[in-house]
A = this chain, B = another copy of it.
Amino acid sequence: MQTFDIYYRLTLFGDENIDRKIEKLCREQSVEMPLGVVPDQIRNKVVGQLAFKEQITDNVYDIAVRWPLENVGGEISTFLNMLYGNISMKPGIRVTGLDWDKLKEILFQGPAFGIDLIRDRYGIEDRALSSTALKPLGSSSEKLGKLCYDFARGGIDIIKDDHGLTDQSYAPFEERIRACVQAIGKAADDTGRRSYYYPHITALAEDAVMRYEKAAELGADGVIICPHITGVEIMHQMAGMEVDLPIIAHPSFSGALTTNEHSGLSPDFLYGELWRALGADFVIYPNVEGRFIFSEEECLAINESARTAGLPFRSSFPMPGGGLQLADVDKWIETYGKDTAFLMGGSLYEHPKGITAASRELMRKIIQIG
């Protein structure tokens, strides 16, 4: 029987017993009924088995459970249910990792591009990447196109839509893409150097797929999507399509999964591993010292998971954002390394000399450290 392991951190509350908690987990995520009424041959065939257990503190354990591969069939949706279905409603269970090698064959392909092919594609060899967001919501397509031009003239590598921009009347999807694609071209003509525009395509599943195709048709260079709004499988579907555009994944709506330390999925597992397996070329996460709450240790762990050769997929570019300051970029390149795409918004918009000057300053820093 083929199997794969999932790793969990378990926290005991009150008078919980660790062995009983593990047994319940193995049951809840498979037969979902009292073991007394499960026939032996089914019990042996489908119920998870403890493969590893280590006590971390008085009430915290790290464990691995071995699951039959056939329980997930050939579907990512079934895998998600097995990974964190009913146990999402139980306290003290956090998924921290899994055996990707076994799942690669049947479910996951990873990024279509990843760090190496993105570097080839954009001719950026030995330095960090810069990126920014077009905003605010409420701006016209013309205004967003103008911002795009200003950033591109300053040399920002990747200019993406803010994830709040979809198809509102302020700046409808196609009109906005046309304006920004044109702005990118004009700036390239002016400067001799090309920036790359990634529109936001989140929508109902099939509409998101159509926007992915439409973005390519209109000359965009990549896309940004919120997988926890479309359903995460949609990103995987896109990564496997013929459409030749890299994908940035945005964590909107995902925070409840990662920000409670005793439950959910660890941030390095979700943003680093699962999103990478599902085909994200870039993974946006909220950086420490910004507007959100991850620690530097958690951010470093996300970077490591997104890039490590230990996973059987192309690596993803970590894309820290959410309050990154222009003044701190040297520190962050030193801390996170060059295989990072730094996402900077507010701090460029607030620059006293304007967006183009701010972008040039950012690029000078990045290239100097280069």
User: Measured between C-beta atoms, what is the minimum distance from A357 to chain B in Å?
Assistant: 14
Contact of A33 (CB < 8 Å), options: B167, B204, B207, B349? B349
Chain B contacts for A251, CB-based, 8 A: 88-89
Q: For residue A45, which residues in chain B have a CB less than 8 angstroms away from its CB? A: 138
The residue on B at minimum CB distance from A231 is B231
Residues of B close to A316: CB separation below 8 A: none
Partner-binding segment picked from A36-44, A112-120, A174-182, A331-339 = A36-44
Contact pattern, A 56-93, Cβ under 8 Å of B = 1, otherwise 0: 00000000000000111111111011101111111100
A237 at the B interface (CB under 8 A): yes
What residues of B have a CB within 8 angstroms of the CB of A74 in the complex? 167
Alpha-carbon distance A113/B247, docked complex (angstroms): 39
Which single residue of chain B is at the shortest CB-CB distance from A205? Answer: B205
How many copies of the shown chain assemble into the complex?
Answer: 2
Stretch in A97-105, A150-158, A252-260, A307-315 touching the partner: A252-260
A24 close to chain B: CB less than 8 A: yes
A363 contacts the other chain (CB 8 A): no
Among A46, A78, A349, max chain B CB count under 10 A is at A78
Q: Is A17 an interface residue (CB 8 A)?
A: no
Q: How far is the CA of A163 from the CA of B82 in the complex (A)?
A: 10
Chain B neighbourhood of A303, CB < 8 A: none
CB nearest to A91 among chain B residues:
B293
Q: Could you tell me if B46 and A89 are in contact, using CB atoms closer than 8 angstroms? A: no
Cα-based distance from A30 to B164 in the complex (angstroms): 7
| Chain B residues near A286 (CB-CB < 8 A) | 89
15 contacts between A and B (CB under 8 A): A32-B137, A36-B350, A46-B137, A70-B169, A78-B168, A81-B166, A81-B229, A84-B253, A85-B253, A88-B259, A89-B293, A90-B255, A204-B237, A259-B263, A260-B260
